[in-house]
Amino acid sequence: MTNTNEPDCIFCRISRQEASAEYVYEDETVFVIKDRFPRAPVHLLVIPRKHIARIDALSSGDNGLIVHLFEVVRLVAATYHLEAGYRVIINSGADGGQTVSHLHVHIIAGKCLGFREDAAP
Protein backbone atom coordinates (compact mmCIF):
# COMPACT_ATOMS: atom_id res chain seq x y z
CA MET A 1 0.00 0.00 0.00
CA THR A 2 1.83 3.06 -1.18
CA ASN A 3 -0.63 5.92 -1.06
CA THR A 4 1.64 8.95 -1.05
CA ASN A 5 -0.52 11.11 -3.24
CA GLU A 6 0.33 14.66 -2.15
CA PRO A 7 3.21 15.87 -4.34
CA ASP A 8 4.25 18.76 -2.07
CA CYS A 9 3.94 16.94 1.28
CA ILE A 10 7.39 16.34 2.78
CA PHE A 11 6.31 13.07 4.43
CA CYS A 12 4.85 11.81 1.14
CA ARG A 13 8.10 12.79 -0.56
CA ILE A 14 10.12 10.90 2.07
CA SER A 15 7.88 7.86 1.63
CA ARG A 16 8.50 7.97 -2.13
CA GLN A 17 12.28 8.27 -1.52
CA GLU A 18 12.26 11.77 -3.06
CA ALA A 19 13.55 13.38 0.14
CA SER A 20 16.05 12.05 2.63
CA ALA A 21 15.39 10.93 6.18
CA GLU A 22 16.94 8.55 8.65
CA TYR A 23 14.64 5.53 8.68
CA VAL A 24 14.47 3.30 11.75
CA TYR A 25 11.54 1.10 10.63
CA GLU A 26 9.28 0.67 7.64
CA ASP A 27 6.61 -1.63 6.29
CA GLU A 28 3.92 -1.36 3.61
CA THR A 29 1.69 0.85 5.76
CA VAL A 30 3.94 3.09 7.87
CA PHE A 31 7.50 4.22 8.28
CA VAL A 32 9.44 5.58 11.25
CA ILE A 33 12.12 8.24 10.97
CA LYS A 34 14.25 10.26 13.34
CA ASP A 35 12.94 13.80 13.81
CA ARG A 36 15.25 16.37 12.21
CA PHE A 37 14.70 18.76 15.12
CA PRO A 38 14.62 16.44 18.16
CA ARG A 39 13.16 17.66 21.45
CA ALA A 40 14.81 14.81 23.42
CA PRO A 41 17.56 12.22 22.93
CA VAL A 42 14.98 9.93 21.30
CA HIS A 43 12.50 11.71 19.02
CA LEU A 44 10.96 9.53 16.34
CA LEU A 45 8.03 10.02 13.97
CA VAL A 46 5.66 7.19 13.05
CA ILE A 47 4.09 8.18 9.73
CA PRO A 48 1.41 6.44 7.68
CA ARG A 49 2.19 6.14 3.99
CA LYS A 50 -1.42 7.07 3.24
CA HIS A 51 -1.73 10.84 3.20
CA ILE A 52 -4.13 11.89 5.94
CA ALA A 53 -3.86 15.58 6.75
CA ARG A 54 -4.70 15.32 10.48
CA ILE A 55 -6.67 13.38 13.09
CA ASP A 56 -9.92 15.07 12.04
CA ALA A 57 -9.53 13.57 8.55
CA LEU A 58 -9.55 9.96 9.81
CA SER A 59 -12.56 7.82 8.99
CA SER A 60 -13.84 4.47 10.22
CA GLY A 61 -12.12 2.97 7.18
CA ASP A 62 -8.82 3.91 8.81
CA ASN A 63 -9.39 1.81 11.95
CA GLY A 64 -6.81 -0.80 10.92
CA LEU A 65 -4.27 1.92 10.21
CA ILE A 66 -4.83 3.49 13.62
CA VAL A 67 -4.28 0.16 15.37
CA HIS A 68 -1.17 -0.47 13.27
CA LEU A 69 0.28 2.96 14.11
CA PHE A 70 0.13 2.11 17.80
CA GLU A 71 1.46 -1.42 17.25
CA VAL A 72 4.48 0.18 15.57
CA VAL A 73 4.84 2.67 18.45
CA ARG A 74 4.99 -0.30 20.85
CA LEU A 75 7.45 -2.19 18.62
CA VAL A 76 9.78 0.79 18.22
CA ALA A 77 9.63 1.57 21.96
CA ALA A 78 10.69 -2.00 22.68
CA THR A 79 13.46 -1.85 20.06
CA TYR A 80 14.78 1.36 21.64
CA HIS A 81 14.48 -0.10 25.17
CA LEU A 82 12.20 2.67 26.37
CA GLU A 83 10.92 0.70 29.37
CA ALA A 84 11.61 3.69 31.66
CA GLY A 85 8.95 5.63 29.78
CA TYR A 86 8.21 7.66 26.72
CA ARG A 87 5.68 10.18 25.48
CA VAL A 88 3.39 9.67 22.47
CA ILE A 89 2.07 12.87 20.88
CA ILE A 90 -0.22 13.54 17.94
CA ASN A 91 -0.61 17.22 17.11
CA SER A 92 -3.65 18.23 15.08
CA GLY A 93 -3.91 21.56 13.27
CA ALA A 94 -1.79 24.67 13.53
CA ASP A 95 -3.13 25.65 16.96
CA GLY A 96 -2.38 22.09 18.13
CA GLY A 97 1.26 22.42 17.11
CA GLN A 98 1.08 20.44 13.85
CA THR A 99 3.73 21.79 11.48
CA VAL A 100 3.41 19.19 8.69
CA SER A 101 -0.11 18.55 7.37
CA HIS A 102 0.28 14.78 7.33
CA LEU A 103 -0.82 12.70 10.32
CA HIS A 104 2.15 11.49 12.35
CA VAL A 105 2.89 10.20 15.84
CA HIS A 106 5.81 11.51 17.87
CA ILE A 107 7.69 9.14 20.20
CA ILE A 108 9.78 11.20 22.62
CA ALA A 109 12.06 9.72 25.28
CA GLY A 110 15.53 9.54 26.70
CA LYS A 111 15.17 12.09 29.47
CA CYS A 112 12.66 12.88 32.17
CA LEU A 113 9.85 14.63 30.35
CA GLY A 114 8.43 16.22 33.46
CA PHE A 115 5.06 16.06 35.08
CA ARG A 116 2.22 18.31 36.08
CA GLU A 117 2.38 19.41 39.69
CA ASP A 118 -1.38 19.07 40.04
CA ALA A 119 -1.40 15.50 38.68
CA ALA A 120 -2.52 12.73 41.01
CA PRO A 121 0.34 10.60 42.39
Other Cβ atoms closer than 10 A to 109:
21
- Residues labelled catalytic: 104
pLDDT of residue 102: 96
Greater confidence (117 vs 35) lies with 35
The dihedral of CA 69, 64, 2, 95: what is its sign? negative
37-41, 48-52, 71-75, 108-112, range with the lowest pLDDT: 108-112
Is residue 120 over pLDDT 80?
Answer: no
Is residue 119 over pLDDT 60?
Answer: no
Average pLDDT, the chain: 91
pLDDT of residue 117: 61
pLDDT of residue 121: 55
How many whole angstroms separate alpha carbon 32 and alpha carbon 73? Answer: 9
Tens-place pLDDT, residues 60-93: 999 999 999 999 999 999 999 999 999 999 999 9
How many whole angstroms separate alpha carbon 21 and alpha carbon 34? Answer: 7
- What the chain holds in terms of domains, given with CATH numbers, is 10-109 (3.30.428.10)
Distance between alpha carbon 54 and the CA centroid of its chain, in Å?
12
